[in-house]
Amino acid sequence: MRAFAQAPAPPEASAAPASGAGGEAVLPKEWSDAVGTLAEKIAIAARGAGAVSIDMRNISSLSSAESSAIRALFESRLRARHLAIVPSSQAGAAQLILTLSESRTAFVWAAEFSGSPAAGPNSVAIVSVDKSPGKPEQNAKQHITLDKRLVWQQPSRFLDVAVFDNPAGSPSYRVVLDPTEIVFYESSDAHWDKLPSTVATLRSSPWLRTVTGRFDTTTNEVWVWDGNPNAQNFPAVHCSGPLDDPKQIQCTPWKHNVLSVVPWWDFPGHEGATAAELWQTCGQGSIVLSTGNGDWTQPDSIQPYIVSESGATVIPAGDPMPMDGPVIYLTRQDQGNTARAIVRNLATGNYEAYIVTATCSQ
């Protein structure tokens, strides 16, 4: 088992394409391979044409930088196969339509080709690459104080995630707290591989639907308990041990006191909202992040507040940051101006974990 490298600050490591020297996106290897395959197919179909004109359209969630990078790579591969790239208006060239599409789980890039002697009436070449779970979302369009970064997503429900990002070249890790076990993942390229060792926390319980839990990476502790305020006699679990060594993690039953674990904030008008007080202050008060007033069937938002030291005044500070679904868990990170939020994405059905960063601008 490789030791996790404890980064002093959460890096921006992810499976997203890195920026090149000129600011253009650098494509992951898998993407580059796919583009190459596509170009190969097109080159065979365009045999005898000598020149192609390319019209590209992006109907996926790829950014303009990414789509430009894909196109540039595609053209270079075609040129390598002795095909000239010419404008669309040039007569005699083979017409090519390159479409960047996507499905739920993969990017799909298709080239519709016609006009070459070797091409059929609707000659199409298609390649696909699986999407990585760590693909970052675009930044929110508004200039708000809050920022979010997707650090984990999976179809089934999880309670918390511990993020261990390392610089490029070293694998990153995710430790995911599922309702009944702790699961470990290691990154390789754009994939996350599940490590075989897991740690069981709760045995089967009828109250699993309201189970909640959290990591404390500074103390290497894990708590799992029933989030239902009316729960009684629920066998909660407390685990402790180095998170980079699953075998050493020990879990024992624990009688919890809800209020002692996580400070609740009740905001006027937001009864029942989930809140997290960040370590960082802003001005004269603490930054507190709170979920919105919707229910779990509607997309939620995270609203920053500044709360006075005494807690008497609670002032919204900044625009709420919309999320793709209800925020079912919000807790501050162990240090700094970040919090962890787990959101149920209503569109995809996935559970997603974000690192929310609150930047205070005065």
Partner 1 sequence: MSRRLAANSLLLALALVLAVLPAKTARRPGYGGTLRIEIGAVIHSLDLSVAAVSPEEAAAKLEIDSLINDRSGAPAAQPAAGPFRISAWEPGKRLTLAANGDFPKGRPFVDAIDFTMGKSAKDRLLDLELDKTDFIRIPADQARSAAESGVRVNTSQPDELLAILFATGGSNAPSSPVRQAIAQALDRGAIVNFVLQKTGEPAGGLLPQWSSGTAFLFSASSAPAGAVQQVKEIRAQNQPSIRLLLGYDSGDSVEQRVAERIVVDAREAGIAMTAGPIQGTSALGAATVPPGFDARIIRWRMPSPRPDAALANFLAAFPGLAQAAADACGPANSAERIYRCERAIVDTREIIPLAFLPQVYGLSARMRDWQAPGPGETWPLADVWLDGAPQ
The residues that touch partner 1, with contacts defined as CB under 8 A, are 59, 99, 101-108, 110, 112, 122, 124-128, 204-210, 227-230, 267-273, 293-297, 314-317, 344, 346, 349
Indicate the residue among 38 and 239 with the shorter CB distance to partner 1. Answer: 38
CB 247 to partner 1: min, Å: 26
Indicate the residue among 246 and 318 with the shorter CB distance to partner 1. Answer: 318
CB 104 to partner 1: min, Å: 5
Q: Give residues with Cβ within 8 angstroms of 281, minimum separation 6.
A: 287, 360
Indicate the residue among 296 and 309 with the shorter CB distance to partner 1. Answer: 296
DSSP string, 110-128: EEEEESSTT--TTEEEEEE
CB 144 to partner 1: min, Å: 12
CB 236 to partner 1: min, Å: 15
Q: E-strand spans in 76-228?
A: 84-86, 94-102, 106-114, 123-130, 146-154, 160-164, 173-177, 181-188, 191-200, 211-216, 221-226
Nearest-5° angle of CA 225, CA 228, CA 230?
A: 115
Contact status, residue 275 vs residue 262, Cβ threshold 8 Å: no
Contact status, residue 243 vs residue 4, Cβ threshold 8 Å: yes
Measured between its terminal Cα atoms, the distance across the chain in Å is 45
CB 282 to partner 1: min, Å: 14
Indicate the residue among 128 and 166 with the shorter CB distance to partner 1. Answer: 128
Indicate the residue among 107 and 184 with the shorter CB distance to partner 1. Answer: 107
Cα separation, 52 vs 144, whole angstroms? 45
